[in-house]
Each structure stands twice: as C-alpha cells, then as structure tokens.
C-alpha cells in the first residue's frame, strides 16, 4: 500500500491532519495500527483531507476500527434518528439542511447544534464518530470540538479529588426536550433504554488518560446531589471545558473525513449558514462502558 502521506498538527491540543492517503481501499494492519496510534496521540481528532468515498467505502473504512451502530453486528441508535438514516445504509446518519423533491428531509437539520458527545446516554456510548463532508456551505458550518482531556488535566488536584468518585446521569430526554420538536421524538426512546449512569471522569481504554465526561446536551444531573448543587457544579465544568484554549474549530473543506473520540471530547455544530446547502454523512463506532 502506498505510504507517502503527510501528517501535520493542526492545534496545540494535538488535532492532526492527514493528506495523501486514499481511504477508499482496504488498509493493511500496519497502517490501521499507525492510524489508531496517531488518533490516540492526537487527543482523538484526526482530519483526513481530500477523500473520495462512496457511502459503502466510508462504512468499510470505519469498520476497520470497530463495530458500527446500525450495522448487522451492532445495535441501532435511538429510533428518533432513524428517519435521518441513509435509505440504503442504516449505518449512516445524514446531516442536511435540505429536503428532496418530495419534501422529505435529506438528513437531520440542525444536528448537534449544542454541546454533546454522541450517544452518551447509552450504557455503552459511542467511541468514534467518523463524519464525511460531502457538501459544505461557502461560508460557515464549522464544528467546534472541546477537549475534555486537556480540560481535566488543568484542574487543581482538589477539584480532581472532588470529581473522582462522582457519577452523572445521561438521558436522551434532555436532548429530546431542547433539540427535537414533537412529533419527531419517538416516545419509546424515553422508556429508559437511552438513559445511563456514567463516571464524571473517565479513563481512556487505550491511553489511560482521564477526561471530563459530562455534556450539557445530554447530561441531566450529578447522581446524589440535589438539582441546584448539580447545576452549579456542572455549570463550572461546562464553562471550564469550553474555554477557547480547549477548543479546536474544524473549518470543513469538502471531502474532509473527520474522526473524533466521543470519550474525550464534546462537539458543537455551528448553525450559521442558513439555506446554503450542507450535507455530511456520519458513521458511529460503538464503544465500551465508561470507567
Ligand atoms: O454537522 C456537524 O458538523 C456535526 C453534527 C453532529 O453533531 C454529528 O454528526 O455528530
Ligand atoms: Fe454529534
């Protein structure tokens, strides 16, 4: 396999850009191991430029890193988003501000326009999300990524000690209440299968590094605290995590494939491009239970 790709750091957080690699072909084991290593060293944010992939090739690339939500081997995501899945590929979640000739949305409009970590409300939340930019507006439509590892490492020892034993409830109902208008929400999604208790500080299974694992879009409260106490502590954490120094801004170029780690980062899609067409497809890797 051709190996003359160029690897460049895009931010002090570690975000890494890779050029000159064709991901449409199967990768050999050595290259997969190299990419996994780069991904972990990047803090969980790789941007592959100039990829020309069919939907199937996007899925095939992603499968080399784990099991996909919506695949025959995996579990589906919540039913509420099933209307935004690719008609031929249930592994693909479509993000779009356009409708087709019949007036049916081509994907979820305004997807992820709030701070969140994909599928954090499941017992086994997403590991990676791999998002492919097929159509990007002439200006705007960037996505922000907040590095929960760097934010954790900068906390005082006293705060780290306070947070270490804590758990938080993540609940799809939080996102449903603020992000989805009825009747889009499928009520069955609110029956408890999309609600989970996770450690506030989680340790990455590969790197051993710790990250803050709460997000305003899907975390309802800290377990054992009353609501006012929980709100105050979470507010501190969200303000801390979203300080500019922890943020990488992905300014999409068409044919970018971005692979991020939901275990170490939360993200926010900026809704500032009106009707200028924007279309992306996402594959989501299933992860392990956070510890
Ligand atoms: O549209 C985007 O940039 C990201 C949307 C999102 O939250 C996601 O695909 O997980
Ligand atoms: Fe997302």
pLDDT, tens digit (0-9, with 9 covering 90-100), for 237-262 = 999 999 999 999 999 999 999 999 99
Report the alpha-carbon distance of residue 179 to residue 108 in Å, rounded: 11
Q: Identify the CA nearest to 199 among candidates 175, 171, 154, 164.
A: 164
Give percent above pLDDT 70 in the chain: 99
pLDDT digits (tens, 9 = 90+) for 72-130: 999 998 888 888 999 999 999 999 999 999 999 999 999 999 999 999 999 999 999 99
Average pLDDT, whole number, for the chain?
Answer: 95
pLDDT confidence tier of residue 196, bands split at 50, 70 and 90: very high
List, in order, residues 6 or more apart from 150 with CB less than 8 Å away.
13, 43, 245, 246
Mutation choice for ligand 1 from 132, 143, 262, CB with most ligand atoms inside 8 A = 143
List, in order, residues 6 or more apart from 27 with CB less than 8 Å away.
1, 35, 61, 64
* Tokens found for residue 137: 């507006």
Q: How far is the CA of 248 from the centre of ligand 2 (A)?
A: 15
CATH for the stretch 6-286: 3.60.130.10
Amino acid 1: pLDDT: 60
Report the alpha-carbon distance of residue 212 to residue 148 in Å, rounded: 5
- Give the β-pairing of 89-96 and 126-135: unpaired
Pocket of ligand 1 (CB under 6 A): 95, 111-112, 118, 129, 131, 143, 267, 269, 280, 282
Atom of ligand 1 nearest to the CA of 267: 7
Ligand 1, atom 7, residue with closest C-alpha = 112
């Amino acid at each position: 396999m051709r190996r003359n790709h160029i690897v460049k750091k895009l931010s002090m957080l570690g975000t890494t850009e890779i050029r000159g690699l064709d991901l449409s072909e199967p990768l050999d084991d050595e290259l997969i191991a190299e990419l996994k290593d780069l991904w972990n060293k990047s803090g969980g944010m790789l941007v592959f430029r100039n990829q020309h992939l069919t939907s199937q090739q996007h899925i095939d690339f992603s499968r080399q890193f784990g099991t996909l939500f919506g695949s025959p081997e995996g579990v589906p995501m919540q039913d509420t988003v099933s209307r935004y899945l690719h008609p031929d590929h249930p592994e693909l979640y479509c993000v779009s501000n356009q409708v087709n000739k019949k007036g049916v949305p081509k994907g979820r409009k305004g997807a992820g326009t709030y701070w969140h970590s994909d599928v954090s409300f499941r017992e086994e939340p997403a590991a990676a999300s791999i998002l492919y930019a097929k159509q990007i507006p002439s200006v705007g439509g960037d996505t922000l990524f907040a590095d929960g590892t760097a934010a954790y490492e900068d906390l005082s020892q006293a705060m780290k000690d306070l947070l270490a034993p804590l758990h938080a409830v993540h609940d799809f109902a939080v996102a449903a209440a603020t992000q989805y208008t009825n009747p889009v929400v499928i009520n069955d999604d609110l029956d408890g299968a999309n609600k989970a208790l996770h450690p506030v500080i989680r340790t990455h299974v590969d790197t051993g590094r710790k990250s803050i694992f709460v997000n305003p879009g899907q975390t309802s409260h800290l377990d054992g605290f009353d609501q006012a106490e929980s709100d105050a502590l979470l507010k501190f954490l969200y303000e801390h995590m979203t300080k500019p120094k922890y943020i990488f801004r992905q300014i999409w170029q068409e044919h970018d494939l971005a692979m991020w780690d939901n275990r170490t980062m939360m993200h926010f899609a900026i809704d500032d491009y009106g009707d200028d067409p924007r279309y992306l497809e996402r594959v989501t890797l299933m992860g392990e239970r956070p510890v």
